Protein backbone atom coordinates (compact mmCIF):
# COMPACT_ATOMS: atom_id res chain seq x y z
CA UNK A 1 0.00 0.00 0.00
CA UNK A 2 1.27 3.47 -0.80
CA UNK A 3 2.37 5.78 1.98
CA UNK A 4 -0.05 8.51 0.87
CA UNK A 5 -2.99 6.26 1.64
CA UNK A 6 -1.80 5.82 5.21
CA UNK A 7 -1.57 9.59 5.52
CA UNK A 8 -5.05 10.12 4.11
CA UNK A 9 -6.59 7.45 6.31
CA UNK A 10 -5.02 8.66 9.55
CA UNK A 11 -5.75 12.31 8.80
CA UNK A 12 -9.43 11.61 8.17
CA UNK A 13 -9.58 9.32 11.20
CA UNK A 14 -7.94 12.01 13.31
CA UNK A 15 -10.46 14.56 12.08
CA UNK A 16 -13.46 12.46 13.03
CA UNK A 17 -11.97 11.38 16.36
CA UNK A 18 -11.11 15.01 17.11
CA UNK A 19 -14.56 16.18 16.08
CA UNK A 20 -16.34 13.62 18.24
CA UNK A 21 -14.06 14.33 21.22
CA UNK A 22 -14.53 18.09 20.85
CA UNK A 23 -18.32 17.88 20.52
CA UNK A 24 -18.54 15.71 23.64
CA UNK A 25 -16.28 17.89 25.80
CA UNK A 26 -16.71 21.49 24.63
CA UNK A 27 -19.68 23.77 24.05
CA UNK A 28 -18.39 26.82 22.18
CA UNK A 29 -17.77 26.67 18.45
CA UNK A 30 -14.25 28.09 18.80
CA UNK A 31 -13.21 25.36 21.22
CA UNK A 32 -14.67 22.64 19.02
CA UNK A 33 -12.90 24.04 15.97
CA UNK A 34 -9.52 24.53 17.69
CA UNK A 35 -9.42 21.13 19.38
CA UNK A 36 -10.61 19.34 16.24
CA UNK A 37 -7.75 20.94 14.30
CA UNK A 38 -5.23 20.11 17.03
CA UNK A 39 -6.21 16.45 17.17
CA UNK A 40 -6.25 16.21 13.37
CA UNK A 41 -2.77 17.78 13.26
CA UNK A 42 -1.55 15.32 15.88
CA UNK A 43 -2.76 12.34 13.82
CA UNK A 44 -1.26 13.86 10.68
CA UNK A 45 2.17 14.32 12.28
CA UNK A 46 2.01 10.97 14.06
CA UNK A 47 1.46 9.03 10.83
CA UNK A 48 4.35 10.89 9.23
CA UNK A 49 6.64 9.78 12.06
CA UNK A 50 5.43 6.21 11.65
CA UNK A 51 6.06 6.33 7.91
CA UNK A 52 9.54 7.76 8.35
CA UNK A 53 10.60 4.96 10.66
CA UNK A 54 8.69 1.92 9.45
CA UNK A 55 7.65 2.24 5.80
CA UNK A 56 9.90 2.40 2.77
CA UNK A 57 7.71 4.56 0.57
CA UNK A 58 10.04 4.64 -2.44
CA UNK A 59 10.94 0.96 -2.42
CA UNK A 60 14.67 1.67 -2.64
CA UNK A 61 15.64 -0.40 0.36
CA UNK A 62 15.06 -4.02 -0.51
CA UNK A 63 16.63 -6.34 1.97
CA UNK A 64 17.64 -9.73 0.73
CA UNK A 65 18.47 -12.41 3.25
CA UNK A 66 21.74 -14.03 2.23
CA UNK A 67 21.18 -17.48 3.67
CA UNK A 68 24.49 -19.00 2.50
CA UNK A 69 26.52 -16.15 3.98
CA UNK A 70 24.82 -16.41 7.37
CA UNK A 71 25.04 -20.20 7.44
CA UNK A 72 28.77 -20.03 6.72
CA UNK A 73 29.27 -17.50 9.52
CA UNK A 74 27.24 -19.59 11.95
CA UNK A 75 29.22 -22.71 11.04
CA UNK A 76 32.47 -20.80 11.64
CA UNK A 77 31.21 -19.64 15.04
CA UNK A 78 30.17 -23.16 15.99
CA UNK A 79 33.59 -24.51 15.01
CA UNK A 80 35.30 -21.76 17.02
CA UNK A 81 33.15 -22.51 20.08
CA UNK A 82 33.91 -26.25 19.81
CA UNK A 83 37.66 -25.50 19.72
CA UNK A 84 37.39 -23.31 22.80
CA UNK A 85 35.33 -25.94 24.57
CA UNK A 86 37.93 -28.64 23.90
CA UNK A 87 40.72 -26.35 25.15
CA UNK A 88 38.78 -25.55 28.31
CA UNK A 89 38.04 -29.24 28.90
CA UNK A 90 41.72 -30.13 28.57
CA UNK A 91 42.68 -27.35 30.99
CA UNK A 92 40.08 -28.60 33.49
CA UNK A 93 41.42 -32.16 33.20
CA UNK A 94 44.98 -30.91 33.79
CA UNK A 95 43.86 -28.99 36.87
CA UNK A 96 41.99 -32.02 38.23
CA UNK A 97 45.04 -34.22 37.62
CA UNK A 98 47.31 -31.78 39.43
CA UNK A 99 44.87 -31.49 42.32
CA UNK A 100 44.64 -35.25 42.69
CA UNK A 101 48.47 -35.51 42.56
CA UNK A 102 48.79 -32.83 45.24
CA UNK A 103 46.25 -34.65 47.45
CA UNK A 104 48.16 -37.92 47.04
CA UNK A 105 51.46 -36.24 47.89
CA UNK A 106 49.88 -34.55 50.92
CA UNK A 107 48.42 -37.89 52.04
CA UNK A 108 51.82 -39.64 51.68
CA UNK A 109 53.62 -37.00 53.72
Q: How far apart are CA 67 and CA 47, in angstroms?
A: 34
**Which pTM was predicted?**
0.49
Neighbours of 2 (CB within 10 A): 9
Q: pLDDT digit string (tens) for 24-50?
A: 998 899 999 999 999 999 999 999 888
- Residue boundaries of the structural domains of the chain: 3-86
Q: For residues 6 and 57, is the Cβ–Cβ distance under 8 A?
A: no
42's CB contacts (< 8 A; 6+ apart) are: 14
Amino acid sequence: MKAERFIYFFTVSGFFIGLSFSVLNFRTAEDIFIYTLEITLFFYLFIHLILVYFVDSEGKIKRVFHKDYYEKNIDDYIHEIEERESKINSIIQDIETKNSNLKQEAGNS
